[in-house]
Every structure is written in structure tokens, then in C-alpha cells.
């Protein structure tokens, strides 16, 4: 089987490294618009061969490890693939991608979101264990033909991922709270510190809590701005909910409501009984 990976950064590179070590009798080919990424992918051994997009289209499986808006644009160049070619997208949003999938490839596309990633990006950030033990969400899988569905399941099983099935719209709602909102908060926290008169003095005092919360503000702006826009309705609801919580704690601090603060904090600590 030939698997083609479009996008040879963190996600695509890590995917190539993992599949090389877990799937036998597979040839991996790769494509990236960025020539430097292609050169680095060759050096790091992500794929067996770097090919043109037209050659990659002949693969048995095409995996789109690129930003969410680029996924949608790429669909136009995939409408003429063979009926038995499987497409798997790894986008962090799903509803818009599913809705804008051309009819010609609706049954071919397996809409997937691996809940895996780090704050670093680019080929040099890739590592083979990125996906192992993490959750992958497969959306609207009932639209896929048995061949494409089973290929995707086999690949994610080979990556040692935990497969969860979900409606695309439900996925985007949940992802807004557990993934997209934390990124928005982290970017906001970083910017709020940078806008102080003497950010260097503040950062000199930064301990683990600040580093943990600001870490994901290092994530790719190109990728995350697309995600925020694609899932804007759900993300705005999540931000508004977060703003209400900030208003609540702000009021209690102003009013010196010690008991209220403790009760509010105790409520928050129960989250980790669920996780």
C-alpha cells in the first residue's frame, strides 16, 4: 500500500516516522509546498520519497496534515482521484471541512482529528511517539464506504491511538472548550504580559504556573488563526463563558468575598476528578 502525506511539518513528519515503525509493506511518499520542509523531511527520514502532488494523488491513501483552510483548498485538486483512494484529513475543526467536501469525494474523505500536538511546529519538531496513546476523533464515519473507513481505522490502530466516533458539529463544540479556548487564553496571557511596561522583570519571576499556561502561545499563528476562524461561533461562546467566570472572580475580589472565592475555587478543583 502507498500512503501519501501532504504536509511534512510536526503532524505529517511525526505520522511518517510512526507509520514507518508500525506498518509493514507500506511505501510512504510525501509532498509539501515548502521546499525547505521537503529537504528536512528527506534528511529526517519521514517518507521514502518526496514526490509531486500529481504523483502523490495516485496513492492508496492520502493524508492531509496541513492547516484547515489549506485542506479545503486542496479538495479541489482531489476531485479526480480514483474511487478506491482514501483521503484522511487531520484538521482540528471538522464541521466546515465536512460541509465543503466536494460530492465527488464525500465517501472517500475520512474526517479525523488526532488530539495530539505540541507547541513547537515544523519538521524539526516531529517525533515518532506524538500520536501513541492519544485520542483521535473520527467524524460522520457513516458517510464513508467500508473500504475507506477500515483503512483509516487500521492506520490509527497502527499509530496506537484511541478511536472516538462523533458528529462533526458536536466535535467542534467540544473542541472549542477543551482545545481552542485554552489556546486563545494562552495567547491572551502572553500578550497581556508583553504589553506591561517592563515585561522582562515580570518574566524573570515566572515560575511553573506561568510557563504551563503560556506554553501553547508558542503554537503556529498560521495554523491557529485558521482554526479560530473556522470554529468562530463555538469559540466565541466559549470565550463569553470564560469572560463570565472572570467577571465573577473579579467581583468577589473587589468585594473581598473570601468564602465566595473559596467556594468558586473548590468547584473548579472537581474538574480533575473527571480527567
Residues 24 and 104 in one domain: yes
Q: Are residues 58 and 193 in the same domain?
A: no
pLDDT in tens, 146-188: 999 999 999 999 999 999 999 999 999 999 999 999 999 999 9
Q: Which CATH number does the domain housing residue 237 bear? A: 1.10.3660.10
* Average pLDDT for 201-224: 84
Which segments of the chain does DSSP mark as H helices, in order? 10-22, 35-44, 53-56, 68-75, 95-99, 146-158, 168-175, 181-194, 199-204, 208-214, 221-230, 232-254, 258-269, 271-274
Q: Tally the domains of the chain.
A: 2
pLDDT in tens, 139-152: 999 999 999 999 99
Same domain, 127 and 68: yes
Three-state secondary structure string covering 221-232: HHHHHHHHHHCH
pLDDT of 117-141, one tens digit each?
A: 777 888 998 999 999 999 999 999 9
Give me the pLDDT at residue 1, please: 94
Q: What is the pLDDT of the chain when averaged over all its residues?
A: 93
- Using pLDDT thresholds of 50, 70 and 90, give the confidence band for residue 275: low
Which of the listed residues 134, 166, 198 is the one where a domain comes to its end? 166
**87 and 156 inside one domain:** yes
pTM to 2 decimals? 0.87
User: Residue 138 belongs to what domain range?
Assistant: 2-166
Amino acid at each position: 500500500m502507498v500512503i501519501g502525506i501532504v504536509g511534512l511539518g510536526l503532524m505529517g513528519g511525526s505520522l511518517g516516522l510512526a507509520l514507518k515503525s508500525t506498518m509493514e509493506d507500506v511505501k510512504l511518499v510525501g509532498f509539501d509546498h515548502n521546499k525547505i520542509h521537503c529537504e528536512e523531511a528527506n534528511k529526517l527520514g519521514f517518507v521514502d520519497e518526496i514526490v509531486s502532488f500529481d504523483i502523490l494523488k495516485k496513492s492508496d491513501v492520502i493524508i492531509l496534515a496541513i492547516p484547515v483552510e489549506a485542506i479545503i483548498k486542496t479538495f479541489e485538486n482531489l476531485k479526480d482521484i480514483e474511487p478506491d483512494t482514501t483521503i484522511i484529513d487531520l484538521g482540528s475543526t471538522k464541521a466546515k471541512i465536512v460541509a465543503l467536501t466536494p460530492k465527488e469525494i464525500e465517501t472517500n474523505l475520512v474526517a479525523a482529528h488526532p488530539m495530539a500536538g505540541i507547541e513547537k511546529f515544523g519538521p524539526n519538531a516531529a517525533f515518532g511517539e506524538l500520536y501513541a496513546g492519544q485520542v483521535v476523533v473520527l467524524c460522520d464515519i457513516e458517510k464513508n464506504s467500508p473500504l475507506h473507513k477500515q483503512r483509516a481505522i487500521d492506520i490509527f490502530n497502527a499509530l496506537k491511538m484511541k478511536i472516538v466516533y462523533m458528529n462533526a458539529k458536536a466535535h467542534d463544540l467540544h473542541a472549542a472548550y477543551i482545545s481552542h479556548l485554552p489556546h486563545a487564553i494562552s495567547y491572551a496571557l502572553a500578550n497581556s504580559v508583553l504589553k506591561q511596561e517592563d515585561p522582562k522583570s515580570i518574566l524573570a519571576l515566572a515560575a511553573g504556573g506561568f510557563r504551563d499556561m503560556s506554553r501553547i502561545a508558542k503554537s503556529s499563528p498560521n495554523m491557529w488563526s485558521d482554526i479560530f476562524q473556522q470554529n468562530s461561533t463555538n469559540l466565541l461562546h466559549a470565550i463569553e463563558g470564560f469572560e463570565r467566570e472572570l467577571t465573577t472572580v473579579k467581583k468577589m475580589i473587589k468585594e473581598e468575598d473570601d468564602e465566595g472565592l473559596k467556594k468558586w475555587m473548590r468547584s473548579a478543583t472537581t474538574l480533575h476528578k473527571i480527567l
